[in-house]
Amino acid sequence: MKAIVWTGEELGAKFEYKDIPADLQEMAQDYLVQMLETIIELDDEVMEKYLEGTEPGEETVKKLIRKGTISASFVPVLCGSAFKNKGVQPLLDAVVDYLPSPLDLPSMKGTDPEDPEIIFERQPSDDEPFSRIAFKIMTDPFVGSLTFVRIYSGKLIAGSYVLNANKDKKERIGRLLENQPAAATNSSFHAQRFHLSSILCSSYLICSDDRNSCSEQET
CATH code at 48? 3.40.50.300
Among 60, 79, 100, give the residue marking a domain's end: 100
The answer to whether 98 and 76 have CB atoms below 8 angstroms apart is yes
pLDDT for residue 52 = 94
Instruction: Output b/e per residue, 3-35; b: 16+ Cβ within 10 A.
Output: eeebeeeeebeebeeeeeeeeeeeeeeeeeeee
Instruction: Please give the mean pLDDT across all residues of the chain.
Output: 80
Same domain, 110 and 203: yes
Q: What is the mean pLDDT of residues 19-42?
A: 95
The answer to whether 149 and 203 have CB atoms below 8 angstroms apart is no
Among 100, 121, 139, give the residue marking a domain's end: 100
Range of 172's domain? 105-217
Q: What is the mean pLDDT of residues 152-161?
A: 83
Q: 0.85 exceeded by the pTM? A: no
pLDDT for residue 186 = 52
Domain count, the chain: 2
Closest CA relative to residue 88, chosen from 180, 186, 213, 196 = 180
Same domain, 126 and 191: yes
Among 85, 100, 115, give the residue marking a domain's end: 100
pLDDT at 205 over 50: no
Could you give the percent of the chain with pLDDT greater than 90? 34
